[in-house]
Structure 1
C-alpha cells in the first residue's frame, strides 16, 4: 500500500483494521501523523454528537402540540401558554447544542496538533546524540528569522516539520527525568501563556517572539527552566526577512 492508497482508505474508513493499512501506518511517519489527526477528529465528532436528550422530550413535544390544538378554540391566553411550552423545548435543545459546540471549538487546537504530531515522529523521544548548535541556529534562522547566538544545551533531536496549517522547528531535549519535546511554531503567535494536560501529556504554550513555544512531556517538572532558557535564546537579535 502506498501513501495515496492509505489516505484514500483513511478518508473512507479511518477505523479499519486491515493489516496492510496498519502496516503502512507503522512504516510511514507522515501517514501515521495523518492517522493520528483523523483519530482526534473522529473522537471530537463523537463528543460533539453525544448531546444528552432531556428526559421525556418526545412526550413533552407531543403534549405541547396536542395542547396547542386543543387550545385553538380557547382564549388567546391559553393558546399562548401552549406556544410557550414549545418555545421552552426548542430553547432546551439550542442550549444543549450550544454548550457542546462551545466546548468543542474552545479546545486547545494547537495542543491537539502537537500531541498528534508525536505519533508520526517516534525517533524524537528516543534519540540521545547531541545536535550541533549550528544546525539549531540554521533552522531557527531559516524558519523563524531568529538569530540565536546561544543555543540551549541538551538538544538531542531536530527536525523541520509541518504541523497542521503551521510550520515548526521540532526538537527533543534530554532532562533528568524524561525527555521533553520542544516545538517552536514560527507562524502562529499564541495570545497568552497556557498550561494543559490531556491524553497523558503535560504541555505548555508560551507566546515567544513572533511565534509560540510548545513544551510537551510526561512531567511538567522542567517546564519553568526550559521556558526561561528558550526565552533567553529566542529574544536575541532578529534577522531581516529577504
Structure 2
C-alpha cells in the first residue's frame, strides 16, 4: 500500500485497522505518526463540539434581540457569544487540519453528494438485486454505456450479476453489480463530473469516486474490499467512444 492510499483510508476512518493498515503502520514511523495524529484530531474535534446548549437558549436570544431593538443600544449578547465560540472551534479545527497536511484528501461537498447518492442506492436496492444473477455479457455492458459516450475496450474482467440504468441525483447512471475479490461490488457510471479520486466509508461499506473527464466512476463494496484496486483496473479499460 502506497502512502497516498494509506492516508486516504486513515482519513476516511481513523479507527480502521485491517491487515494492510497495520502492516503499513508497522513498517513506517511516518505512517504510524499520521495514524496517531488522525485519531487525536478526531478526539479533539469531538471534545470541542461537545458543548451543552442551555435549555432556554431560544428564549434568551429572543429576549436579547427584543431588548436591543427597544433600547437601540448595541451590546454583546448570548447569541454573539455562541457564534464566537463556534468560530473559535472552527478556527482551532482548521489549524489542526493544517498541521496534519491533509492536502487534497479533504472531501468537497460535490464529492460527498456523489458518495451519499451511491450509498443510498446500494442500501435501498440491496433487497432487490442481492438474489439476481443475469449473467450479463460484455456486449450488453457497452450497450448500456453508450448514453454516456464511453465503452469498455476489453471484456469486463468480473462476473456481472445485474445491469441497468438508474436515476442518480440530478442525472442518470449505469448501475451494475459484479463479483469482487471479497464480495459483491456495485458500480455506478454517471455523467456527473468529479474533481478528484476520493475514498469513502459508511455503514460497513467502502467506496471510491474516480473522475473520468466529464463523467465519474463510483464503486461501493463490502468493508475490506480493495475498491481502489478495482477502480484502477476498470479505469484503464474505459475509453471514450469514437
Do they superpose with TM above 0.5?
Answer: yes
SS in 2 for 1:197: strand
Q: Is the 8 A contact 2:194 2:211 kept in 1?
A: yes
Structure 2 unaligned blocks of 5 or more: 1-50, 91-107
Taking the TM superposition and a 5 Å limit, the aligned residue runs for 1:5-154 are 53-54=53-54, 57=57, 58=59, 62=63, 83-86=74-77, 89-90=79-80, 92-93=82-83, 106=109, 108-118=112-122, 119-120=124-125, 122-141=127-146, 143-153=147-157, 154=159
Taking the TM superposition and a 5 Å limit, the aligned residue runs for 1:218-229 are 218-229=222-233
Q: Is the 8 A contact 1:52 1:96 kept in 2?
A: no
Structure 1 unaligned blocks of 5 or more: 1-50, 73-78, 100-104
Change (3 A) 1:150 1:66: closer
Instruction: Tell me the TM-score normalised to structure 2 length.
Output: 0.57
Map of 1:8 onto structure 2? none
SS in 1 for 2:176: strand
Q: Is the 8 A contact 2:163 2:174 kept in 1?
A: yes
> CA-atom RMSD, angstroms?
3.6
Query: Aligned-pair distance for 1:149?
Result: 2.4
Change (3 A) 1:129 1:53: same
Figure out how many residues of one structure are paired with residues of the other and give that number.
169
Map of 2:215 onto structure 1? 211
More deviation, 215-224/156-165: 215-224
Instruction: Tell me the TM-score normalised to structure 1 length.
Output: 0.57
* Distance in 1 of aligned mates of 2:64 and 2:228: 59
